[in-house]
Structure 1
Amino acid sequence: MKYTSLNLLLLGLLMTSTLLTSQVKNIGLPDIRNYKRSDYKGGTQNWDIDQDKNGNLYFANNNGLLQFDGSSWKKYSLPNSFAVRSIKIDDSGKIFVGGYSEFGFFESNKKGKLEYFSLSKMINKDANNPIDFIWKIHIRGIEVIFQSFEKIYIYKNKQLKIRNAPNRFQFSFIINNKLYLQDIALGILEYKNDTFIPLKGSRILNNNEVWGMFPMPNNKILVATLSKGLFIYDGKGMTPWKNEANEFIKKNSSLGGVNITNRFIAINSVLDGIIICDLNGKIIQHINHKKGLQNNTVLTSFIDNKNNLWLGLDNGIAFINESSPFSYFGFSYDLSTVYASVIFNDKLYVATNQGVFCHTWNKTIKEDAFSLVKGTTGQAWDLQIIDNLLFCAHNRGALLIESPNAVKILDNRGYFGFKKIPNHPNFIIGSTYNGFTLFEKTQNGWEFKNKIAGFNKSTNTFEIDRYNLWLKKDDLLYQLELSKNLTKFTKIKCYQQLAKETKGITSIQHFNNKIYFQTKNHFYKYSQQQGTFYEDQTISAIFKNVPLINALTEDRLGNLWYAFDESLGVLLKSTNSTYKNSISPFSNLTGNLVNNYLSINTVDSANVFIGLTDGLAHYNASLSKSFITKPKVFIQSFSFPNDTLLLGNGRTKLNDYTIPYKSNSVRFIFSSPTYENVENVEFSYLLNGFTDKWSPWSTSLIKEYTNLREGNYKMKLKARNSYGIESDSTTFNFTISPPWYRHFLTYLFYISIIIATILFIQRRIKVKIRKNKYYETIEQRRIYLEKESKIRQEQYKLEKEIEKLQNDKLQIKILTKDKELVNNSLQVVKKNKILNGIIHKLKDINVESFDDSTKLKLNKLNKSITKEVTADKSWNDLEKHIKNVHFDFLKRLKEKHPTISPRELDLSTYLLMNMSTKEIAEIMNISNGGVELARYRLRKKLQLNKKENLVGFLIAI
């Protein structure tokens, strides 16, 4: 049957309405992630699963309680019991667990660490009758019910009540807040008002184990047994649930299951993984080892807060991303790299590197693999429906696929793709490995006509309009003009750029019934009349806020799909011809797209097929809104030397914490309980008090700070999931105490010391000022006295100087007088000499010849002259005067030179008086030579050398 537009629309509406009420896709497989023992460092078997309000997951494992936050695993053990068989978390965050002969709960202590509190200690245990394994835990109101094979233990208001099994319990279940237990003899019991009430008609299950009970419409209950299949209980009896789900369970055995949004049921099996069926028993999904599970025995299943499915396996743990709008056809469907896909004649055809594969298209592709179309083995590049015929561009040639078993080869050359020629409805142009060829529609169908001459380059990127064929090759754009008879290219032109302001050519694309040429998100059209390219501002504006694209294709709904940096995005076209950009839903496909082969096959909004390097992805756009949610982020732990705080164990906030200064190196570990694409979850942080900028986004879960100063700090953290959605920020406040020498009290002490020191210094300064003033007064007095004494001394010196000057003047005067006296004395000596001469001359006169009167007068004259000479004592007086005046000098000279003679003393005095040699000779009555001789002898006695002045020496004395 061939699709018409009406058929496609009706099928699309039907499928969309079905999937809007469903989160479980019946096309392809969801993303599956397996966790091995080496990942969680625990035992093999995982018996139960639950989730706290922060999003952390907990697993009852053979080796203890496992905790998982999306990035790291932690393990907690029970006292005297390694294995944990059951787990349940209440609204307060208490984690109730049960193991062998032990049950109780974990709760966060003040530091956020999980601390175990045993409730089994409240029981008087009998060594001969132990508690055995606690297989189930239920929370009903304020009651917590622990179930073993022998008893149930009801914990309420910190009291423990025990009820024994009528015979022996198997398992228990809560349905519509009612507690049901299977007894091996009485069938299924309802525990009500402290009594066990058997359900009518349930004893038919006595020889089989009931592993699951699920609520159904009209107050019915679905019962899953280990080996007898599935039953419906209607209040009156058990009837087999006759459908494909029941057949599967009877064949593979059931180990319970879980409801999914009250519209589906996931049923675990022993032998063949898990099935998900609707409320009519129709299998929607079947996931087993072949389809990606690491183990086929599913012990337990759990739906998390995002409606994703977790499986506890006999060996390992599995995560199934049921809430994703994506499902996949990969290795389990025998598909490899997909280059193109198309629906033709109720079959989905896929072009791969191994050939063309097909699968029946009935909107439920869940079991069988794709089958290879005969004759298509090898590299298939493209699939196109032209004139209701399926063309395949293949390495082996141009193929016409008429059915999975009928393939017609139109040409043996290798082909990349085909295009219809505008205005020539009966012709198709094909791109080969070395040029282009022409196909013609004849009465016998499509046939190869000729190779188009004039151009031998090959490409998978080309478009054709009324005038030209355009192709992009090696960053160049070629414009080829076909001849009228379509046998050759008559004109070839090559372009390196579209406009002066833009360099390079990124892609050619056809949408809105036009050919566009694109570079750096600027879109150009070609004017045939002007022969130039011009930018379409309207289209360029649409891509203004879109990442730089490298490929673009338009789907049948008018949506524009584009590739960028190995990622995918879409501009969704609305009814008013505007576009809305969507990138985040496709982030998990990053790196898996096929380079240079953007394969988008849009059947309708609920069915979009995308080619990948490892298969085919199916995308349902109607589920993407509920799929992308805001993530949560937690500071999982805050560590510093010798201590650690855990902030993610059921507690959203701890009180502000103070750490000592010696522990000022801190470490934060982040977590975001996000389980899809966990490797792409990124974190950004800001430590107020240390920096004011958010860190760049990083996948690192750890941040350390060392040598922080004292003060108040606020750690802010936010996360961004793989779809680019940011969480609200979370904060943690802590304080680093200052060192003792910078503590507040120490500063008070410092201030007190400073104040006391200031006061002390102030007092000392005042005392010192007073002392200084006193000493200054004393000093001023001393200075005054010194000045006064100095003035007196100066005055005394001045007086002495004056006295000396006076003495010198007097001395000079005396010397002058002495000189005058000496001169006068010399005159007297001269006079006496003259008089003596006269006397001698008078003696020579013969007086005899004179008369008596003359004789008398002459004698009288002689006597008078003699008397004058005799009476003159001036010389002796002069000598005495000289000696008196120069007494000190003569004394000092005599003391220094005791051997000096009196005559030499006289000579020294005369020399001191600066008398000339002639004057000295007259006074001393010696010749001038005698004076020189006396001077020589005096110099020798005074021990003077030749250069020393005798008079100067005497003056110095």
Structure 2
Amino acid sequence: MRVFRCLSLLFMAIHFNISSAQVKSVGLPELRNFKKGEYKGGTQNWAIDEDRNGNLYFANNNGLLQFDGTTWRKFTMPNQSLIRTIKIASDGKVYVGGYNEFGYFMPNETGKLTYHSVSRLVDRKKIPLIDFIWKLHVINDEVFFQSFGRLYVYHTGKLRVIEAPSRFQFSFTVDNVLYLQDRANGLMMYREGQLIALPDTSTFNDTEIWGMVSMANGNLLIATLDKGLFLYANGTVRPWQNQANNFVLKNSSLGCTLIQDRFILINSVLDGIIICDKSGNIVQHLNRKKGMQNNTVLSSFIDSKSNAWLGLDNGITFVNENAPFTYFGFSYELSTVYASVFYGGYLYVATNRGLFYHALGGAFREDTFTLVEGTTGQAWNIQVIDGQLFCGHNRGAMLINNGKLSRILHSDGYWGFRKIPGKPNFLIGSNYNGFGVFEKRASGWIFRNVLSGIETSSSTFQVDDRTVWLKKDNDVYQLTLSADLQKFGSVKKYNSLKPSLKGIGSIQSIQGKVYFQTQNRFFRYSYDQSLFYEDLAMSRTFAHVPKFRYLIEDSRGNLWYTFNESIGALMKQPDGRFTNTIAPFSNLTGNLVNDFPSVNTVNPNNIFIGLTDGLAHYDLSMKTDFSSKPKAFIRSFSFPGDTLFIGNGIARRHSCNVQYSANNVKFSFSSPTYENLEHVEYSYQLEGFDEGWSPWSTVSMKEYTNLHEDDYLMKVKVRNSYGVESEAAVFAFTVSPPWYRHPAAYIFYVLLIAVTVYLIRQRIRMKIRKNKYYETIEQRRLYLEREAKIRQEQYELEKEIEKLKNDKLQIKILAKDKELVNNSLQVVKKNKILNGIINKLKDIDAETLDDSVKFQFNKLNKSIIKEVNTDKSWKDLEKHIKNVHFDFLKRLKEKYPTISPREMDLSTYLLMNMSTKEIAEIMNISGGGVELARYRLRKKLGLNKKENLIGFLMSI
């Protein structure tokens, strides 16, 4: 009882120390290091500030750095100078100072930060070299730029120069008053344009003051580079003798910053930072060994959420001070933690490397955990039973006493231990091969025997009324202990608690009773009825809790459950009800040890949770508002040809018109939520395009392509690591239609259509008139053509008639010719006969005749001879034939020039279709002579024997 009374007093002391502070002295806060390769700047960061939107700005060797929680951006001054100081005014202007240049950055119309020089107002003829601007201050409506040689006061667009009495060192603003250190005059105060030396401050002339903060009762805390810490009040300087001063004297100071007016953060040259209370007691010490990337801290800043930002000599570090969690990790020599317990003033931790312990009431922040000798290896469990510390280890069941291994009770590997109800001196343990029984005797605990009947191994088991319940996979085994505790009398296996519920989720002991759970429904076992029945009250308690996998009851009756690699708790209230708490533990998501959840509640201010990389310390008294909503910003809006930066200081524009040719747009999002950045998620919806909100994602940009012309509203929400959603940030923009779908274009189209219809109508009318005219002309033409055709037909008919007449006449002529030829032939024959008569008359001797007969004879002879001589019918016939066939004879002569007149006559006779006999008579040749003449004619005409001579002559 005496030991527990001391422990209670210790817990009360720890509770008082922690609950009265926001900065925890147990464990280390979350650290996030940003290397220069990540922020794309120089190594050194000299000053830090925050704008009203929560964006952070850093005075870096390579320029001005801006961080919005998602993206780093860099801005430079015209002379590419490094920046040594920064301050953001209430109007959103970011004042900066560098080498030989100072001024401010301000968003332009597109929201992009652009630089405006104030140093241009300096008369360079009088002051050719401005030198470095080391500090700047904004007090009311005046801006002070301080170099070693001068103080430049900028007010309402005008610049006033105050020369240093000797040489300025640095300057500070405390309670809206400007203090400057002069190398010859000590501390000086600026008042109404004058520098007033403070009494008794020449002691600082041989050192450098790097920090000043306000203390209680009007005191000023002054941090020097190498002389330590001093308090100044009422004209008196005195050393501040305490732990913090000792640290500064050892490691040198580069400034200090107040935290919530209760703590002081002090930068050092050699060993990181310390955080002390206003009595100078060190509460927290962070350095490279404890996770920082550099031990030289050039600047520090406390943001709007009371978290610390450190500008290092090489990089930037974020310190999550405003959180109820601190951690024991690699710097405390811890690895994966499977269990922890507070015992005898020490915190014992079972890890994969062995069992470690640490004094909880001592200087916890400085020391590492110590390995219990002999426990190297896998330690699965550590628990206190009957005032004795038991360790379930890969090497056996161990007893621990005063940080040392007392003895190994059994060499089999053990998962854990449980008391046997009704047998206070007996203990059952689950090992790699089944179960073992331990007995408490006068000499202490000893291993008694192995329980036979089952060899199934599992770390999850409970004991109830001589029954051991063992969970393996999705099944539960009911193991009944024999009276002598030597074996399991019976073994039953269950794979469900109810026919409609498949599998068994977990078994756990709550308020001394064993519960079985599946799908957040809780059951107990009735030994009388040998069945599982549902505990409706407990099921209702977990009705609105996420489906969990493991459940643990801590020492104060709180119920801790794990789900989706995260953890939550039903905190027990004084009235017995439970309050579900999830948000504070969301930062641990993904870091819990699967299948071995570990929660050790020493008291409300000291809760230890096992992690894969150490131990988390949780303090319920930390007044962190997990329900406060984060802020979401649409950081930039980009489209081809332009980008609007909406989140720089004061937002300039909340809408935009985009040409249709540039209808591919991109949005970037941000949120000034710097805690657990990897768990910050965004959701967006483009009204007019998206049907609903997008799934939550850590991606902080969205691109849309080929948007149709319309009015759009982009909405973005952010969800922090605690699961709290922000209000939606909105940005309206319009995609203008293409020129051919612009309203003016439609008006033009209407007018064009109207004009076109009018012109078409007029053209149709004109065409109708032309068609009528042309139709008349055409009708006239057709009439004339028909008339001409009729005339032509009449002419052709007349010609045909004439031709017919000619043909008829020709036929008649031919007939007459034929007749004439026949007649001529008859005449020829007559003449031939008459010639024959004449010849015969010659044969008659006229002398023999009488005179009258002789006279008559001679008269007859003369008459016949006269008739023959006067007959010219043949010559007329030949002439007539030649006249009738003149054209034929002409063509024949032209075609065959060598043809003779005799052959031409033959051709004519043949053309007239005369017979050979008739031709012979006309030509006065024999028939054979006609055939010979025909042969010669064929030869001259070039005809072969098969060709028809008459047909050929007719074709000529």
Per the shorter chain, which TM-score range?
A: 0.7 to 0.9
CA drift of 1:126 comes to 4.7
Structure 2 counterpart of 1:706: 705
Give me the whole-angstrom Cα distance separating, in 1, the residues matched to 2:522 and 2:764.
87
Q: CA 1:595/1:732 → structure 2, altered by over 3 Å: closer, same or farther?
A: same
Give me the whole-angstrom Cα distance separating, in 2, the residues matched to 1:34 and 1:598.
29
Structure 2 counterpart of 1:212: 211
CA contact (8 A) 1:338 1:351 kept: yes
Alignment of 1:526-565 (within 5 A): 526-565=525-564
CA contact (8 A) 1:719 1:727 kept: yes
CA contact (8 A) 1:263 1:278 kept: yes
Indicate the RMSD between aligned Cα atoms, in angstroms: 2.8
Query: Normalised by the size of structure 1, how large is the TM-score?
Result: 0.79
Task: Report how many aligned residue pairs link the two structures.
Answer: 790
CA drift of 1:712 comes to 1.5
CA contact (8 A) 1:468 1:482 kept: yes
Alignment of 1:52-451 (within 5 A): 52-126=51-125, 129-362=128-361, 365-405=364-404, 407-451=406-450
Q: Aligned partner of 2:286: which letter?
A: I
Give me the whole-angstrom Cα distance separating, in 2, the residues matched to 1:13 and 1:765.
106
CA drift of 1:128 comes to 7.5
CA contact (8 A) 1:99 1:133 kept: yes
Give me the whole-angstrom Cα distance separating, in 2, the residues matched to 1:642 and 1:680.
33
Does residue 458 of the first structure (1) align with residue 457 of the second (2)? yes
CA contact (8 A) 1:270 1:297 kept: yes
CA drift of 1:210 comes to 0.6
Give me the whole-angstrom Cα distance separating, in 2, the residues matched to 1:445 and 1:117.
81
> Could you report, residue by residue, the CA deviation over 1:891-930 in whole angstroms, capped at 9, with x for unpaired residues?
xxx99x99xxxxxxxxxxxxxxxxxxxxxxxxxxxxxxxx
Q: Aligned partner of 1:144: which letter?
A: V
> Could you report, residue by residue, the CA deviation over 1:91-127 in whole angstroms, capped at 9, with x for unpaired residues?
1110000000110000000000001000000001259
CA contact (8 A) 2:308 2:321 kept: yes
Q: CA 1:128/1:142 → structure 2, altered by over 3 Å: closer, same or farther?
A: closer
Q: Aligned partner of 2:536: which letter?
A: Q
CA contact (8 A) 2:583 2:626 kept: no
> Could you report, residue by residue, the CA deviation over 1:658-703 in whole angstroms, capped at 9, with x for unpaired residues?
1221111111111112111112211111112223311111111221
SS at match of 1:455: coil
Give me the whole-angstrom Cα distance separating, in 2, the residues matched to 1:2 and 1:322.
36
CA contact (8 A) 1:402 1:408 kept: no
Structure 2 counterpart of 1:727: 726
Structure 2 counterpart of 1:688: 687
CA contact (8 A) 1:26 1:363 kept: no
Q: Aligned partner of 1:468: which letter?
A: T
Q: Aligned partner of 1:542: which letter?
A: T
Give me the whole-angstrom Cα distance separating, in 2, the residues matched to 1:512 and 1:97.
63
CA contact (8 A) 1:608 1:618 kept: yes
Alignment of 1:706-855 (within 5 A): 706-758=705-757
Q: CA 1:70/1:655 → structure 2, altered by over 3 Å: closer, same or farther?
A: closer
Structure 1: unaligned runs, 5 residues or longer? 779-893, 899-957
Give me the whole-angstrom Cα distance separating, in 1, the residues matched to 2:77 and 2:277.
39
Q: Aligned partner of 1:187: which letter?
A: G
Q: CA 1:542/1:575 → structure 2, altered by over 3 Å: closer, same or farther?
A: same
More deviation, 672-681/400-409? 400-409
Alignment of 1:494-509 (within 5 A): 494-509=493-508
Give me the whole-angstrom Cα distance separating, in 2, the residues matched to 1:93 and 1:16.
42
CA drift of 1:129 comes to 4.9
> Could you report, residue by residue, the CA deviation over 1:694-743 in whole angstroms, capped at 9, with x for unpaired residues?
11111112211111122211111111112211111111111122111111
Structure 1 counterpart of 2:484: 485
CA contact (8 A) 1:229 1:247 kept: yes
Q: Aligned partner of 2:750: which letter?
A: I
Q: Aligned partner of 1:678: which letter?
A: L
Q: CA 1:8/1:771 → structure 2, altered by over 3 Å: closer, same or farther?
A: farther
Give me the whole-angstrom Cα distance separating, in 2, the residues matched to 1:238 and 1:576.
55
More deviation, 59-68/666-675? 666-675
CA contact (8 A) 1:81 1:99 kept: no
Give me the whole-angstrom Cα distance separating, in 1, the residues matched to 2:9 and 2:651.
49
> Could you report, residue by residue, the CA deviation over 1:360-395 in whole angstroms, capped at 9, with x for unpaired residues?
111752111111112222211111111111111112
SS at match of 1:622: coil
> Could you report, residue by residue, the CA deviation over 1:769-802 in whole angstroms, capped at 9, with x for unpaired residues?
9999x99xx9xxxxxxxxxxxxxxxxxxxxxxxx
SS at match of 1:707: coil
Structure 2 counterpart of 1:670: 669
Alignment of 1:512-661 (within 5 A): 512-623=511-622, 625-627=624-626, 629-652=628-651, 654-661=653-660
CA contact (8 A) 2:340 2:610 kept: yes
More deviation, 188-197/151-160? 188-197
SS at match of 1:504: coil
CA contact (8 A) 1:2 1:345 kept: no
Give me the whole-angstrom Cα distance separating, in 2, the residues matched to 1:422 and 1:608.
28
SS at match of 1:135: strand
Q: Aligned partner of 2:52: which letter?
A: K
Give me the whole-angstrom Cα distance separating, in 1, the residues matched to 2:559 and 2:434.
29
CA drift of 1:622 comes to 2.7
Give me the whole-angstrom Cα distance separating, in 1, the residues matched to 2:631 and 2:406.
54
More deviation, 760-769/599-608? 760-769
SS at match of 2:503: coil
CA contact (8 A) 1:585 1:628 kept: no
SS at match of 1:621: coil
SS at match of 2:586: helix
Q: Aligned partner of 1:595: which letter?
A: N
SS at match of 1:25: coil
CA drift of 1:521 comes to 1.7
CA drift of 1:232 comes to 0.9
More deviation, 139-148/539-548? 539-548
Structure 1 counterpart of 2:882: none
Q: Aligned partner of 1:489: which letter?
A: F
CA drift of 1:10 comes to 5.8
Does residue 26 of the first structure (1) align with residue 25 of the second (2)? yes
Alignment of 1:840-919 (within 5 A): none
Structure 2: unaligned runs, 5 residues or longer? 777-807, 813-956
Q: Aligned partner of 2:71: which letter?
A: S
SS at match of 1:540: helix
Give me the whole-angstrom Cα distance separating, in 1, the residues matched to 2:688 and 2:123.
55
> Could you report, residue by residue, the CA deviation over 1:584-607 in whole angstroms, capped at 9, with x for unpaired residues?
222221121111111000112221
Give me the whole-angstrom Cα distance separating, in 2, the residues matched to 1:110 and 1:12.
59
CA contact (8 A) 2:110 2:645 kept: yes
Give me the whole-angstrom Cα distance separating, in 2, the residues matched to 1:634 and 1:86.
27
CA contact (8 A) 1:47 1:60 kept: yes
Q: Aligned partner of 1:323: which letter?
A: N
Give me the whole-angstrom Cα distance separating, in 2, the residues matched to 1:236 and 1:410.
70
Give me the whole-angstrom Cα distance separating, in 1, the residues matched to 2:768 and 2:419.
112
Give me the whole-angstrom Cα distance separating, in 2, the residues matched to 1:144 and 1:431.
72
Q: Aligned partner of 1:506: which letter?
A: G
Structure 2 counterpart of 1:949: none
SS at match of 2:133: coil
More deviation, 308-317/683-692? 683-692
> Could you report, residue by residue, the CA deviation over 1:319-374 in whole angstroms, capped at 9, with x for unpaired residues?
11111111000010011111111111111111111111111111752111111112
Structure 1 counterpart of 2:935: none
